[in-house]
A = this chain, B = another copy of it.
Amino acid sequence: MVRGGRVLLDSGDLVAADVGIQGGRIVALGVDLVDEADEVVDARGRFVLPGAVDPHVHFGNTMPFADEMALDTGSALLGGVTTIGCFLRSTVPYSPELGALVAAVRERSQVDVFFHLQVFGQEQIDDLETCAREFGIDSFKFYLSGIPGIVGSVDEATLLAGMREARRISSSAVVAVHCENAALIAAARSGEARSDDEPALVAWERRHPALAEVVAIETAAALAQTAGVRLYVVHISSADGMAHVRELQRRGVDVVGETTSIYLAEQSDSPNGLLVKQAPPIRDAANRRALWQGVRDGTVSTIGTDNTARSLSSKNPDGGLDGSKPGLPMLGAHVAAVLHTGVHEQGLPLAEVWHRLSRGPAEVFGLYPRKGSTNLGADADLVLVDLDEHRVVDPAQLGSFADFSPLQGRTLRGWPTTTIKGGMVVAADGVLTGRARGAYLRRELSREGR
């Protein structure tokens, strides 16, 4: 039982209440509930929130997938994240490998996990139905522009074929697209020389112009409309991109917007320089403001991390614009970064901000009301938050194998203090308190019309 906190109900209300838990599920909500519980968590002075659901995680970048998952899901728990959506990356069909990956989740993950499959070719597309049926996966991701040396891309025809197959497999399928236009980025890269005193992040921003995002969003949206599938625009990074997603939604196109915590919290004038290098790039203050506007008005349904952890030596920030690598660890600071900027800086209601961190992603990916909820019957994944705790971001305290953070040195206000998963306290006061066992989350396919 969690006693004495202010609980975020699914109605959006924050009420003083106790939460009763049994068999890993929430079974009671009440004022001064009768206490028969084995264990009581004192939540006085805390907000009691459904665990964060991070829909956008990459593991296996610089070490084996299962090993990184085993390590960094601990960082997730410390950071208040209890469920993650992992993007798998392969260039061959996934179904032969999925059994082993599901087993790895069950054996080694500390949070619950669902999979998105990243798709690069027709052979993989032909295999999606098997993956969907056998492993309950109906979200897929395509890159309209790859990341040179890291990840490939597909052309419009392959994306269309993938979208059509996704829709055929499940009427509730979600097709995520990394929206950048390759030609515009290539041209921007080869463009005019950078002045000596220009900050590296600003130069990087110019290499990934917002227009590249816009063109790709419009392309993906036209294809998705033809295929009749829901489009999920990952990591919207620019004001223009946000405006186009908003306009598409207004026209009734089924597009869901995601942005990420690092875009919402950082700008290209960050003192951490290339530690914050990411693709698409962190942009300037006006773009950051526009992303928050997208959160505020509902254009954005989910906030993810795009967590792509690496060690400082692999990040190589001293390598300059070309030698340094994109990708950064965010699971441990995700919640704090969003609370600090969303609630304290932007003045949004906690309930609104948290919706994008938890219930929003759960709904989009078919996990609600099991996840993202404090309703009776929901999984007892809860985070206790102290909205006034000030803490300096210190990579050593974030629990990742990554020995840096893009936010390191910043004082953030608003941190998780206790994380409960399946009814058990798994992290408290910055320490993992017991080995949590993650579950693999199958999703239901839908055969009906939408």
Contacts and interface: CB of A to CB of B under 8 A. Distances in A.
A181 B36 CA distance: 64
A181 to B, nearest CB: 5
Given A157-B183, A186-B157, A31 B218 contact: no
Interface in A365-398: 369, 375-377
Contacts of A156: 181, 183-184, 215
Instruction: Give the interface centre of A11, A13, A22 by most chain B CB atoms within 10 Å.
Output: A11
Contacts of A221: 218
A211 B244 CA distance: 19
A32 B36 contact: no
Interface in A202-219: 211, 214-215, 218-219
Nearest to A214: B222
B34 A376 contact: no
A98 to B, nearest CB: 28
Interface string A158-189: 10110000000000000000000101101110
Contact of A215 (B10, B22, B222): B222
A247 interface: yes
A105 interface: no
A424 interface: no
A275 to B, nearest CB: 29
A211 B224 CA distance: 11
Query: Within the oligomer, what is the number of copies of this chain?
Result: 4
A13 to B, nearest CB: 6
A446 interface: no
A84 B211 CA distance: 35
A281 B118 CA distance: 34
Contact of A219 (B215, B251, B375, B376): B215
Contact of A376 (B15, B218, B251): B15
Given A9-B10, A211-B226, 19 more contacts: A9-B11, A9-B375, A10-B11, A13-B375, A17-B376, A20-B33, A22-B31, A28-B31, A29-B29, A29-B30, A29-B376, A157-B184, A160-B184, A160-B187, A211-B222, A214-B222, A215-B218, A218-B219, A222-B244
20 contacts: A9-B9, A10-B10, A28-B29, A28-B31, A28-B33, A30-B33, A31-B377, A33-B33, A155-B183, A156-B181, A156-B215, A157-B183, A161-B187, A181-B219, A211-B226, A214-B222, A214-B226, A215-B222, A218-B218, A222-B244
